[in-house]
Each structure stands twice: as structure tokens, then as C-alpha cells.
Amino acid sequence: MSLDVEIKDLSLSIGGTRILTDVNLRVPQGSFVTLLGPSGSGKSTTLNVLAGFLTPDRGQVLFGGQDVKDLPPGARQLGIVFQNYAIFPHMTVGENVRFPLVAQRIGTDHGKRVADMLELVKLGGFEKRRASTLSGGQLQRVALARALAARPQVLLLDEPLSALDKQLREAMQSELKAIQREVGVTTISVTHDQAEALSMSDLVVVMNGGRVEQAGTAEEMYCRPGTEFLARFLGEVNLLPVAPDGSCRPLDVRATDATGRLLVIRPEDLRIGRTDGPGFDATVTDVQFQGGTLRLEVSVPDSPLPLVVRSSYAGYGSVPRTGEKVRLSHDFSFLHFVDPAA
């Protein structure tokens, strides 16, 4: 069984410095939620409050409607995977997974539970292996099996994949999400990896300056950011000011109801077309070949800042060179605007 989690009007100061200010967040039962934000935004502090390692100055922390703010970590029915995994190197894999069952005096048939958890994380038969002999990916799986062994109602993940190399990290994203779905435990993760947050989460929560900047699905956060900060923080973006007459150069668009605002154009929203096709002319100032994609920076006569363009390499045939003229176009079926930051 899992629980919904709710934070209400949470504030916390440490050493006279305000770290969290009026944080409000609701995590639906059984969902996978990621806290994302720049360093110092308050995401790790929020996770520590949920874990019971820090006590807020005011506000509520509700697990299934019960305020657990004053309960110690051991009384909150949590599973926690730490950034460094905190695996006991002198123990076997089985002893590590069994540890919370023994410490919390849960059940007596520990062998079956340990075996079930190791099968869940694809480490069946590893019970007798020493933890010190495992790879980083295997240690991550052991930490997850141990966190789930005691059947927690809420699972907390602190940068769970940050110690893995890129290829293994991407593979583990799919596996971790699949395990979470199978177990059904409410999961709250902290990460600095934007791709990880977008690909794994039912709900992405971006924090900034100790507050929740915006919360929503990955699509909502990326395609419909509510603020200039979020538009700039979550992936690359071109922000084009809308003039008093509603024009938004170099695009051929009129947005008289959005004067003074910024049009959000993601690099992949711009298309490279034929030089005699619709759109506007640009000059390539920088090229990055990234395998399946091209990242271009281009200058245009009507824009003081370069535009960033991301295009699939498939079918393009060749990589544009610096100084080359290209023709860019944009699909106007969807336009999104944000107010400029104060």
C-alpha cells in the first residue's frame, strides 16, 4: 500500500537563512514525482524534511492525511535510496537487503522477501555476493531492493542515478520507472538531470529560491512554462519579445494580445527548409554535430541575439557549415507566451 503525500505552507530556516518559503505540494498516491531545480533551490532540503531529517519552522507534512512532521524517520514507513547508496561493503548482497527487515523486526521469513526483492531488481542469485565486488549499477539495484524490502508506503530517492555513467543511467531510468509501477509505491525523487526528470516522472516539480516555481506533467512544464525562469531553466529556448504592434520578428506572426510578453520557441520548433521556401533567412554561426541531431546557432537580421535550432540529422544529407545561409520556418499552430522576469 502507498500513501499520498502533501506539503502545506512549509517554511524552514537554517542558521538564520531562509531555505524554504511557503512550499505547497501534493503527490498523488502511487505516482512518481521529481523535484528539480538549480543548486540551492531547496529540492534536497524538501526531501530531507519529508524524510524527517529536518524539522520545518512551520507548515505540515501529511502522509495519507496524517501530519508526520514530528515523527522520527523510522516511524514514517519510508524507503530511502541515498545518493551514495550507503551499502554496507562488509556484508553480502542478501545481508544488505535483509538489514531493514531485521532492524525493524518485520516478519520472520526474510529469505523469501530478500529473494523476491533481488528478482525484482534483476539480481536474482546474488545473495551471497559481497557488496564490495559489485559494479555501480549493481549497487544501485541493491540499494533499491533494500529500500523496498520493508514494504514502505513512500519511497524517497536522492539523486539515485547520478553516480552512473550516461549509458547505464539512461538504461536504469526505464528500469527504475518500471519497478516503481510494478510495486506501486508513492515515489519522490530529487535530481539535477532534466532529461531524467522529464522521462521518468508523472509530475515534475521545479523549485527556485526555496519555492515551487511550477508543477505539472513533463509536457506541460516543457511546452507551457509559466515563467521566464522555467522556460530558460528547462532545456534550451529562444525567447522573442513581442513588440507593441504585436509583431515578433523575425517570425511572421501577429500577437496583439501578447504585447510586451515573450514568445517561447524551442530549438526543435524551428525547421530548416529550402532556401526558396517559406520562412526567413538566417546565417549559421555555430554548428554542433551530435549524432542523431544537429544543433545550430544562427544570426538573423531582425534579431539582436542568435537563435538556437535543433534538427534531426536523418535525411538532411550534410552538416551546414559556419557562414552558410539557411531558410528557417516555424509552425504557428501552437504559440506560447510568458511574461518577462521582473
List beta partners, residue 8.
60
DSSP 145: H
Answer yes or no: are the C-beta atoms of 292 and 314 closer than 8 Å: yes
The reported pLDDT for the residue numbered 88 is: 86
Give the separation between CA 297 and CA 68, rounded to whole angstroms: 51
Alpha carbon separation from 166 to 193, 233, 321 (Å, rounded): 11, 21, 29
- Return the H-helix or E-strand segment holding 270: strand 270-273
Q: Tell me the average pLDDT of the chain.
A: 90
Pairing type for strands 203-208 and 186-191 reads: unpaired
Question: Who has greater pLDDT, 7 or 168?
Answer: 7
pLDDT tens, residue by residue, 118-159: 999 989 989 999 988 888 888 888 999 999 998 999 999 998
Q: Is the pLDDT of residue 315 over 70?
A: no
Give me 53's grid cell.
Answer: 531529517
**For residue 314, what pLDDT band results from cuts at 50, 70 and 90?**
low
Q: How far is CA 63 from CA 29, 77, 185, 226, 267, in A?
A: 10, 10, 13, 28, 40
Residue type, 40: G
| Contact status, residue 145 vs residue 117, Cβ threshold 8 Å | yes
Asked which of 44-48, 224-228, 252-256 is least confident by mean pLDDT, the reply is: 252-256
Residue 255 or 2, more confident: 255
Q: Please name the residue ranges forming H helices in 125-191.
A: 136-149, 166-183
Calpha distance 54→48 (Å, rounded): 6
* Residue 158: strand pairing partners: 190
Position 267, amino acid: P
Length of the chain: 342
Domains and CATH numbers, the chain: 5-229 (3.40.50.300), 267-338 (2.40.50.140)
Higher pLDDT, 161 or 9: 9
Among 88, 199, 206, 68, smallest CA distance to 139 is for 88
* C-alpha cell belonging to residue 297: 546557432
